[in-house]
Amino acid sequence: MKITDGARDLLLQILEEEEAACLRLYFAGYGCGEPDIGMTIGEPEADDELYHLNAIPVAIDKRIEHLTAELTIEGKQTMEGPKFQMVGLPEKDC
């Protein structure tokens, strides 16, 4: 998994403002028979694997860890605030 420099800069700012421990990727149910990945700012949970990627502490739910190998998190500032996108997720057959 990778975090772009743009996403890193935004995430560092958010983590500081929210006084949060990490970016967390979690199992968010099933879509089209495949696990969905959710993303939030918060605390790691007991079953998470912890990483430091491009200076960002990241907790990944073990149930979806195998889906994150080719994942890239991109981010940009918009008029509505920071926006993040996960690129490289496996294609779903729906």
Tell me whether residue 39 is in a domain. Answer: yes
pLDDT in tens, 25-77: 999 998 877 789 999 999 999 999 999 999 999 999 999 999 999 999 999 99
Tell me whether residue 27 is in a domain. Answer: yes
Q: Which domain holds residue 72?
A: 2-87
The reply to whether the predicted model has a pTM over 0.85 is yes
Tell me whether residue 20 is in a domain. Answer: yes
- Any idea what DSSP says for residue 74? E
Tell me whether residue 93 is in a domain. Answer: no
Specify the CATH number for the domain of residue 49.
2.60.300.12
Count of domains forming the chain: 1
Tell me whether residue 94 is in a domain. Answer: no
Tell me whether residue 7 is in a domain. Answer: yes
Residues in contact with 29: Cβ distance below 8 Å, sequence separation at least 6, in sequence order: 35, 36
Give the dihedral sign, CA 15/18/22/23. negative
Tell me whether residue 92 is in a domain. Answer: no
